[in-house]
A and B are shown apart, each in its own frame.
Chain A
Amino acid sequence: DAGVTQSPTHLIKTRGQQVTLRCSPISGHKSVSWYQQVLGQGPQFIFQYYEKEERGRGNFPDRFSARQFPNYSSELNVNALLLGDSALYLCASSLASDTEAFFGQGTRLTVV
Chain B
Amino acid sequence: RKEVEQDPGPFNVPEGATVAFNCTYSNSASQSFFWYRQDCRKEPKLLMSVYSSGNEDGRFTAQLNRASQYISLLIRDSKLSDSATYLCVVNNGGNQFYFGTGTSLTVIP
The finding on whether chains A and B are genuine partners in a shared complex, rather than unrelated, reads no
Q: Report which B residues bind A (CB closer than 8 A).
A: none
| Chain A interface (Cβ < 8 Å from any Cβ of B) | none
